Structure 1
């Protein structure tokens, strides 16, 4: 097949899923175009520091160092050999008519594609806490990025709060790097965490490794807590007020707070690409729908945490499957996928176990005090949101249009899940699914006005 006749395949995201997808496509004789917001491939989980950064991979990625280095080397070798085209520091902000609007160092342009693989990953799933709108309150992912990319701890005395594997992992990473962690506050009781053991046993060694990490947090880890408030002054947090599992009031002084309740899939581009969505009660999220290989229809394929929260290993498998599906649909030779399909089934069982063990605190979100800021972008409080529900009805897009929740620069990524719980509770719905989901719209990332009003160049 001549170069001109080869279909144009675009992969969005250069984390584990995107890298493995590009590898399979390149092995199939194609030259995929990989668009990524990072300067160097690796994604969030295997984020690389700037060139010249001297910390060894073992310090950055721990037990996953060998996997991280292998992925980095695989991608770099393909790029150097011209087997893929890499657009770093670039964001896809819109999808329309088989084209992507991309902004990057060269400005804005439209890029056409024949097939599209979205490997957009995940982000922190954050629940509002009274006082979380203050400077010095971060997502757990942001704290981990600062640690990996710059070797920096965002605070001298840090409280980490929420639930999920990242809570434990980040605490251990900060301690190993010399950071001071004052407390690790897990809102999930231990008895609930044990409910997910059947699923977690699908990756027993991985689960045991997590338990070993938990042991390193003896004395600062507390399960089954209730977060009351983040106290702050003009410079940022000064303490976290919380209740322990026995109901006793506690106060932990700090100068920085990290929040996160596991992860949520990044689905905005899948929405613009026309993918179907369904509410997943286990994850309490609206997730895009695809077949077992990642086919989501209309020449679009989904892979990695942007489809299901499966972690780095699952993302690699899903990336290979999506690329193989793409090759099959193009009538090109594709690798055998039976082994990866079995692996994906096992990883799905493990992921369900994680979701069972570390659930989204829906009741706490629905019961947030009226003065709690829910939407930090627009400053909308829980009380204002409830009043909007009273005269606007129990559908999140209507509430958004009347009360501005989710209308800021993050497009609801941080407030949507909690807002849906409040809306559903206020409207008397049995489940947040009945409140609907916020519709995606372009631009999905903050973009300069020039990118939206100029004559945008077309690439292909």
Structure 2
């Protein structure tokens, strides 16, 4: 950066965190560049339908409609005024030497940055269930995206299974849209949910809304279940086999299954950017290490669910904090952050309550039957994973090299957490942390070989 030239700040992600980060930088006189895989800003939580889609925001986002519309309007106004540069339908697949390799419809190019804000969000956290590798089994997030973006319910008779707020929310949204939900199966026992209640009271209105949605489900909702198997034929699911809280076997006919246990932070780019990681015992996953305002290194900042899983409101706060930290480090005027720091503490307390009330079913994962497919991309079973322990010493990257887990299209995004639990359990380790985490590598997204072989242009 030459003297008198504005620093180039690049934001990856145009969800709540990325939008608020951009807004903060623009207010300080900068013109950030925002790269996002979506066609329109909003992220997954406030995903926007195609142009001309007629369903109103109140139907798409419910009680969060006003927040969603405000974020969309803020971003569009800044982009229309030329106060930020928006690059939609673009994927960052590599980071090296202060540059991002970006793929879009025109090919590959390198984008240099002085400061980088990663607001990469999160995705479904999935526990493998025997039969989940078949067509007709989706993540809860994917089902919600189809509902928001296209007004489509994936399936005619749907079973939703997992745990966390999205499980209840999606069930209510599907019912409201006219979908037929056969059962909502929560692996968290009711007594466990009550243990996290004190944390949930950090946001009483939010907790109350959740209770009201739960009440609307009535007898469809079952807590403390054990998932046995998804029964399938050549067309996909025909039934979910499960056990209720009393241990009684149940069979619910269906043609579609949605699975999800809250969220898994999207951290691949943070890994390539050189961020350190720590294992979070409550969330039972590896998360990037950053200070209280998202500063991960002298030129990299993290915000949103890719750093701490705090939901949409927390992402907005974290986006402002990361941008403020960036401005401070650049020696530019930054907004006062004390109020946002206090908000973040409250939101963190609530998020911990959620994690405690709706835990990842680690014991059930570790005990999965040997024939269960853990890695859908490569067809790796739980038994095959356990066999690697004798040769790999119970470390997940060795299991990857020996058994191909995590080598597929998703690079372990869907299977890593479950694979680590299985490997650690088979190795007799008391702590999953000892099994390690899969190392990130470029490209972090599937990319055409031609685009990687060509000489990338500078952007």
Which residue number in structure 2 is paired with residue 146 of structure 1? Answer: 146
**Structural mapping, 1:85-234, within 5 Å:** 85-234=85-234
Give the superposition deviation at 1:272: 0.3
CA distance in 1, matches of 2:393, 2:457: 43
Give the superposition deviation at 1:4: 6.9
1:394 aligned onto 2:397:
no
**Structural mapping, 1:366-405, within 5 Å:** 366-405=366-405
**Structural mapping, 1:39-438, within 5 Å:** 39-438=39-438
CA distance in 2, matches of 1:202, 1:247: 34
Which residue number in structure 1 is paired with residue 6 of structure 2? Answer: 6
CA distance in 1, matches of 2:43, 2:331: 30
| Unmatched tracts of structure 2, length 5 or more | none
Give the superposition deviation at 1:423: 0.5
Aligned-partner SS, 1:296: strand
| Unmatched tracts of structure 1, length 5 or more | none
CA contact (8 A) 1:318 1:344 kept: yes
State the 4+ residue runs in structure 1 displaced beyond 3 angstroms.
1-4
1:199-221 deviation digits (Å, cap 9, x = unpaired): 11110110011000000100100
CA contact (8 A) 1:44 1:145 kept: yes
CA distance in 1, matches of 2:435, 2:454: 37
Give the superposition deviation at 1:392: 2.0
Aligned-partner SS, 1:339: helix
Give the superposition deviation at 1:105: 1.7
Give the superposition deviation at 1:2: 10
CA distance in 2, matches of 1:330, 1:3: 13
CA contact (8 A) 1:390 1:426 kept: no
Give the superposition deviation at 1:428: 1.0
CA contact (8 A) 1:266 1:306 kept: yes
CA contact (8 A) 1:162 1:261 kept: yes
Equivalent residue pairs, number: 459
1:13-56 deviation digits (Å, cap 9, x = unpaired): 00000000000000000000000000000000000000000000
1:378-404 deviation digits (Å, cap 9, x = unpaired): 000000111111222110001100100
Which residue number in structure 2 is paired with residue 445 of structure 1? Answer: 445
TM-score (norm 2): 0.99
1:220-259 deviation digits (Å, cap 9, x = unpaired): 0000000000011111100000000011110000000000
1:398-426 deviation digits (Å, cap 9, x = unpaired): 11001000110101000000100110011
CA distance in 2, matches of 1:96, 1:218: 52
Give the superposition deviation at 1:106: 1.8
1:261-295 deviation digits (Å, cap 9, x = unpaired): 00010000000000000000000010001111100
Aligned-partner SS, 2:201: helix
Aligned-partner SS, 1:287: strand
CA distance in 1, matches of 2:12, 2:298: 16
CA contact (8 A) 1:374 1:415 kept: yes
CA distance in 2, matches of 1:144, 1:102: 27
Aligned-partner SS, 1:219: helix
1:345-364 deviation digits (Å, cap 9, x = unpaired): 00000000000001011000
Aligned-partner SS, 1:326: helix
CA distance in 2, matches of 1:162, 1:275: 30
Aligned-partner SS, 2:202: helix
TM-score (norm 1): 0.99
CA contact (8 A) 2:388 2:394 kept: no
Give the superposition deviation at 1:123: 0.3
